[in-house]
Each structure stands twice: as C-alpha cells, then as structure tokens.
Amino acid sequence: MKRNRQPSPEMLGRLAVNLRRLRRERGYTQERLGKLCGLAKNYISNIEQSTVNVSLANLEALAKGLNCREADLLTEGNEPPRRFASSSTPD
C-alpha cells in the first residue's frame, strides 16, 4: 500500500516563517514574489499559512525568486540567509 507522506507541522511552520521573513526583507508582496517564481499569489499565501505541501520544484523556484538557498527556507535559527553572487562581474 502506498502511503502519502506529509511534512511535519514544524517543517511547514519553519518554511512559512522563513518565506514570509525573506519576502518582506526584500520588499516583495506575495503577488510580486509569485510573478518572480511563476507561482500564484494564493499559493504563496497558502505556504505562509502552512496549509500546503510544497514540492521540491516549487521550493527551488521560491529560493531563486528570493535569491537565496533552498536551505535558507527550511532551516531554523538566526543566521542570515546567504545570497547568491551576481553572475555579472563589476568592471
């Protein structure tokens, strides 16, 4: 029998808190982040309310839109998230 496994409420809550914090730090609305990630505003809202399970593909899209690592969305603690270096080099 195939079991449908769900993440723990703690993991969903950690993702929700980190997503909301990182989004606000960057000054993004849920709508703006959704456009950057190719995800619906309502889906971003549901993640921030811990009401949906997030696929790895969507976690990757969120991290890319927020310019952070996927781990920054899932870890707890007070370490500031690392931002990716820009692909362009200054002259």
* pLDDT band for position 1 (cuts 50, 70, 90): low
Q: Answer whether residue 90 is part of any domain.
A: no
Q: Is the pLDDT of residue 90 over 50?
A: no
Q: What is the pTM of this model?
A: 0.80
The boundaries of the domain holding residue 61 are 9-72
Q: Answer whether residue 83 is part of any domain.
A: no
Q: Answer whether residue 19 is part of any domain.
A: yes
Domain CATH code at residue 36: 1.10.260.40
How far does Cα 12 stand from its chain's mean position?
Answer: 11
Per-residue pLDDT tens digits for 5-61: 888 899 999 999 999 999 999 999 999 999 999 999 999 999 999 999 999 999 999
Q: Answer whether residue 42 is part of any domain.
A: yes
- Domain tally, the chain: 1
Q: Answer whether residue 56 is part of any domain.
A: yes
- In degrees and rounded to multiples of 5, residue 67 shows phi and psi of 55, 50
